Chain A
């Protein structure tokens, strides 16, 4: 079946612009995660949804970052007034309900954001 998909794959934004990054999780997966991966580093947690509820947003670096998942499926990560330090790959992951390998996370290809 289809995996996690993300769009756009690449985004170039001028400093100060707003951007919106989309994630389509695997059908039936209740949990959805956003991670930020700077060049040469491991991913870092941003935020987590269970269905439509945002249960943890402790990793969001500033109030310019906002995520939503209004119907418990597709999620959007929005960054307002982008800054150069926001340049990174933004990864989305989803996982099925608990049980078996229910906590295994499946990752999308990421969106590479470059702020100029």
Chain B
């Protein structure tokens, strides 16, 4: 059974810092990996999707990398801003899932960027 772990569970940084969020998964037979952002009381917003054949994806100040063989992904946020404060969730789609498409989520990292 696929298990996804995110470290740290919570992070508080001053504005302007570069930061790295970590995600690890136990079964490397994944189809893809997604990073989501969730604001309090809101749904999930997809930030980046990395296919299993890719090594990284970039969008603005965000860069996500994937090392499938070691079961790890990182989300790099450059020049953090207070508006980046949210919970960041990592999710993987694994080949063996009966549904074929369901996502397995980590517990999330709660990020607070202080002005």
Contacts and interface: CB of A to CB of B under 8 A. Distances in A.
B107 A41 contact: yes
Given A41-B107, A42-B107, A101-B49, A107 B102 contact: no
Contacts, number: 70
Contact of B43 (A41, A48, A58, A109): A109
Given A95-B101, A103-B93, A42 B43 contact: no
Contact of A45 (B31, B34, B104): B104
A104 interface: yes
Given A42-B106, A104-B34, A91 B101 contact: no
A42 B102 contact: no
A106 B41 CA distance: 17
A56 interface: yes
Nearest to B44: A107
A48 B34 contact: no
Interface size class, chain A: 20 to 34
B62 interface: no
B103 interface: yes
Interface in A65-116: 91, 93, 95, 101, 103-110, 112
B53 interface: no
Closest 4 CB pairs of A and B: A42-B105, A56-B99, A107-B44, A48-B99
Given A45-B104, A48-B102, A103-B32, 15 more contacts: A42-B91, A42-B107, A43-B91, A43-B105, A48-B99, A55-B99, A56-B102, A58-B99, A104-B46, A104-B49, A105-B34, A105-B101, A108-B43, A110-B43, A112-B41
Interface of B: 4, 6, 31-32, 34, 36, 41-46, 49, 89, 91, 93, 97-108
23 contacts: A33-B99, A33-B103, A35-B105, A42-B91, A43-B89, A44-B105, A45-B99, A45-B102, A48-B101, A55-B100, A56-B97, A56-B99, A58-B99, A91-B44, A93-B44, A95-B101, A101-B49, A104-B46, A105-B101, A106-B46, A107-B43, A108-B43, A110-B42
